Structure 1
Amino acid sequence: MKKTFLIVVVAFLSMTTFAQNAAKRSKEFNLDKKAAIQGYDPVSYFTQKKAVKGKSNFVTTHEGVTYNFSSQANKDVFLKNPASYEPQYGGWCAFAMGDYGEKVEINPETFKIVDGKLYLFYNAYFNNTLKSWNKDETNLKKKADANWKKLLN
């Protein structure tokens, strides 16, 4: 009886924690019509080294965040290890997150892969923040990591 009760309690806590995490992520992530990366395929950045628009028939949701894919193969790759393909800082501009801790829109075609992680950047009106990021990447990354952690807590 105690064992069954313990299993039920652990299962309940796990589901509650997952639901809270999913709700928090969907609130904090940069979503356009509920889709991350403005509907771009997160796997394509790694496999094709370019931004590729996802299709509405290749979709999955991971912890409250919806991703579109350009192919079933990319969707399958993502499902094996979603955390490896999700954009850093919820898909907000990495430079802005590091420089002043703000959520700023991105241009999904302006990106960088650093240590196997996807970073996205604002790039409009003669302001490409990837160039600024590259000038002080180590410091900005540390600050962005800390700022994003604060937002998720």
Structure 2
Amino acid sequence: MGKIWLTRRGALSLLPAAMVRPARGETPLGVPELYAADPLTGLALRGFDPVSYRLGPAPLPGSGEHEFTWSGLVWRFTGAANRGAFARAPEAYAPRLGGYDPEGVAAGRLVEADPLVTALRDDGRLYLFRDPERRAQAGTALIDAAEARWPQLKGIAAIGG
């Protein structure tokens, strides 16, 4: 049998997986993360390039060669230009509501969303949804309710950390 080596970076990527998560992707209030991360890798947006959501019909996977740490998470990019754009204005490219599903946020829960089920509004705000059905049902009233509720949930999440 060969030896299995785990690098420091590999060990750190396992930490989010070690956290106990409730079933169906719901995160309890008080969790210290302000942006949803992949529970296995710790990557924001499961490694998709946040800038690419605005450049094409579908987001592109980022590369480990082009990473940037912001808000306690590792964000990946397709190239140096996208990494630079994000580094200059991360709030402009990061998904709204911490990357959580707007329906859950409006109801007072942090529900993980799928980074491939998105809506980019005319004002440039990116929202992630748990599934296509939730995205189809999300209207302006739901988004407004989630935006109004987010500061409260974000504050609770920050206190927990």
Q: Does structure 1 retain, via aligned residues, the 8 Å contact 2:34–2:71? A: no
Q: Pick one of 97, 102, 114 that aligns with 1:107.
A: 114
Cα deviation for residue 118 of structure 1 reads 0.8
Please list the CA deviations of residues 15-47 of structure 1 after superposition, one character each: whole Å capped at 9, or x if unmatched.
xxxxxxxxx996232111221111111000011
**Is the partner of 1:116 in helix, strand or coil?**
coil
Normalised to the residue count of structure 1, the TM-score between the two structures is 0.72
Gaps of 5+ in 2: 1-29, 156-161
Which has the larger share of strand?
1
**C-alpha distance in 1, partners of 2:113/2:42?**
16
Q: Does 1:146 align with 2:152?
A: no
Cα deviation for residue 105 of structure 1 reads 2.1
Q: Identity of paired residues, percent?
A: 29
**C-alpha distance in 2, partners of 1:81/1:25?**
25
Pairing of 1:84-95 with structure 2 (within 5 A): 84-95=92-103
Q: Which amino acid aligns with 1:104?
A: V
Q: Which has the larger radius of gyration?
A: 1
Aligned residues: 123
Instruction: Say which structure, 1 or 2, has more relative contact order (CA 8 Å, 6+ apart).
Output: 2
Q: Which amino acid aligns with 2:144?
A: K
Q: Does structure 2 retain, via aligned residues, the 8 Å contact 1:26–1:65? A: no
**C-alpha distance in 2, partners of 1:121/1:56?**
25
Which has the larger share of helix?
1
State the Cα RMSD in Å. Answer: 1.9
Normalised to the residue count of structure 2, the TM-score between the two structures is 0.69
Gaps of 5+ in 1: 1-23
Please list the CA deviations of residues 87-143 of structure 1 after superposition, one character each: whole Å capped at 9, or x if unmatched.
111111123222x122222221111111111101112xxx6211010xxx2211121
Q: Does 1:27 align with 2:33?
A: yes
